[in-house]
Amino acid sequence: MSKAKTFYVTTPIYYVNDKPHIGHAYTTILADVLARGHRLLGQPVHFLTGTDEHGLKVQQAAQKNGVTPQEHCDRTVVRFQELWQKLGITHDDFIRTTEPRHERIVQAILQDLYARGEIYAANYEGWYCVPCERFFTEKDLIDGCCPDCRRGVERLVEKNYFFRMGKYQQRLIEYIEQNPEFIQPSFRRQETLGFLQKQPLGDLCISRPKARLAWGIDLPFDPDYVTYVWFDALVNYISAVGYKSDQEQFARWWPASYHLIGKDILTTHTVYWPTMLMAMGLELPRTVYAHGWWLLDGEKVSKSKLAAAAAKDASAPADAAPAKAPSVNPMAMADQYGVDALRYFLMAAMSMGHDAEFSEEAFVNRFNAELANDLGNLVSRTVKMLHGHCGGILPAATAPGPAEEQLLAACQQAVRGMTEGIEKMQLDRGIAEVIAAVREGNRYFDANKPWQLAKEGQLERLAIVLRNTAECLRVVSGLLYPTMPGKMRTLRLTLGMAEENAEPVMHKLSSWNMLPDGAAILSLPTPLFPRIPVAAPQAAPVCGRKKPAPAPKAAPAAPATEEGANLITIADFSRIELRTAEILAAERVEGADRLLRLQLQVGQETRQIVAGIAQFYTPEELPGRTIVIVANLQPRELRGLRSCGMLLAAKHGDQLRLITTDGSIASGASVG
């Protein structure tokens, strides 16, 4: 079978100095959904994840806990392994960088590169960040601190070994320019190109002296040094699939289809790693895909942010308002609402490559609307009527008639949409197409009124309606299986499918009437997706508490101007947050003549806005412009796309012009 028919997906290997958090979970669930999706498409799949177990932070954590570094790793790795089992992760391999199979390959690569002059010894003088384990030049620092973590750095002068990364700068630039799919999304590709084109690329220090760091893989040519943790870690992508140990296996899977990474490790994966591969004489991975961050109140979700919010709540007076940043850990939602519900939200609510806001309110709203109301309701009504009027037996298939045309069309579109979503890394769009088919199923059910057919004795027509609704659920359950394997397996078995057919294949989902005639429909003692109760807002109690402060008196109404328009106060205007934003990328929204999908950089955040400007601007002419947006507008969905803000434009007659800045200014700057 050709390489094009295989799918090899990797996550970053996660550092074992602490507990896994939602960022780890998102990347790994994303990889799992893609792996399951490509299995659904009938492709051989290899899914790799693992842990990064060397480096100074591991050594320091072990010393703090009074154990050896290996003991620390052995204890901590279990947290990841248990979590992946809990989340239903179907990885084919879990690699640890302390395993001999990995260490042997790292040393073999180092020895080969050293023998060929790709690695050399030299004195290094510069700034070193201990938490990031990286060297920086003076110009790299921001206010004297590490440009990545913004913590203090140390001045070091020491002998080290360097990889000749700089010699591959131009070759890498040309490769990125000639292979646009190599770095995705496209604005991350531009980010890497900008980094490479603005200054000479230095050589990479790939060693640490044992006098400072003893926990690492020994350099084979100098026992006084260990390997830099990033050089060690990146090699996992090839050591795990047989490089220099099983060439047949390596040839089957390499190059990787996708390296899934967070945007914070873009440089290591799109500069360090490809130049290392070039020096080894290996093909580069087909795509490095950098996804966005989950945000809480506009900031990256992390264990430190959650802990700080929790601590703030815990230390506050009993009658104090809760901290603005929610103290609930999103991972706890898997226990509270179910693993499948968490998997669904993370895949459906984030447009891949872009940041998304996480809140329990958004989670509950989507769960209730799409899973409880739409899908759960259709399942419940169909199963109950099959038991109530067909004896729990699936009616025989008949040729779909005119009344079924829209239902069939919606299901076929869902198959196409999910196939494209899997292949083009647009899972949120694929899921949206499936939910559209679910809603069409509910419309079909309501339009044909099976309860009335039963009452009037039209049993033949009743059987047709219930059979076709069940077929819609079969298709939907197959398409959502990669995202919600547990719940969808339950649904498929409920519809009378045999155990061996519970795991779907895409070509069968494209066909109709695939449920076996006369199958026994199982009962559902509890709803598939019980609705999550939402507490109604309550008036503040007065008894036993301080009376709430009286509401301020309303200001006198602003006098109308001569033209009749009402004036606003400066307080009214101050509620609107205007910010500058740089357009990173633009594309047309499929099926919408007026809409463009814009990816914007707003300070440290990337966000998406859907705007009706396609009649006035082409996508090609927009990237690079600095525009003004309303940054605190409540997000909304347009054509299944989340729009976070509104751009400002001036319109006169049939002309429209974007509001831009007069000269260069940083994105995220306040306007007003």
Domain residue spans of the chain? 360-509, 570-671
- Percent of the chain predicted with pLDDT > 90: 63
pTM of the prediction?
A: 0.77
145-188 pLDDT, tens digit per residue, is 998 888 899 888 889 999 999 999 999 999 999 999 999 999 99
Question: What's the CA gap between 422 and 427, in Å, rounded?
Answer: 6
For the segment 379-391, the average pLDDT, to the nearest whole number, is 96
Q: What is the pLDDT of residue 572?
A: 62
- Looking at the predicted structure, is the pLDDT value of residue 247 above 60? yes
Q: What is the pLDDT of residue 541?
A: 38
Tell me which residue of 467, 258, 256 sits closest to 382, measured CA to CA.
Answer: 467
Q: Going by DSSP bridges, is the β-strand pair 258-262/7-10 parallel, antiparallel, or unpaired? A: parallel
418-468 pLDDT, tens digit per residue, is 999 999 999 999 999 999 999 999 999 999 999 999 999 999 999 999 999
Between 583 and 399, the more confident residue is 399
For the segment 318-343, the average pLDDT, to the nearest whole number, is 66
Q: What is the pLDDT of residue 328?
A: 44
Supply the DSSP symbol for 44: -
Q: What is the pLDDT of residue 558?
A: 42
pLDDT tier at 592, thresholds 50, 70, 90? confident
Top CATH class, 360-509: mainly alpha
Find the helix or strand (DSSP H, E) in which 372 lies.
none
According to DSSP, the residues that pair with 51 across neighbouring strands are: 14, 96
513-557 pLDDT, tens digit per residue, is 999 999 999 999 899 999 998 865 444 333 333 344 444 444 444
634-671 pLDDT, tens digit per residue, is 788 777 687 889 999 888 777 888 998 765 577 778 88
CA distances from 368 to 141, 275, 362, 372, 375 (A): 47, 48, 10, 5, 10
Tell me which residue of 464, 378, 478 sits closest to 434, measured CA to CA.
Answer: 478
Top CATH class, 570-671: mainly beta
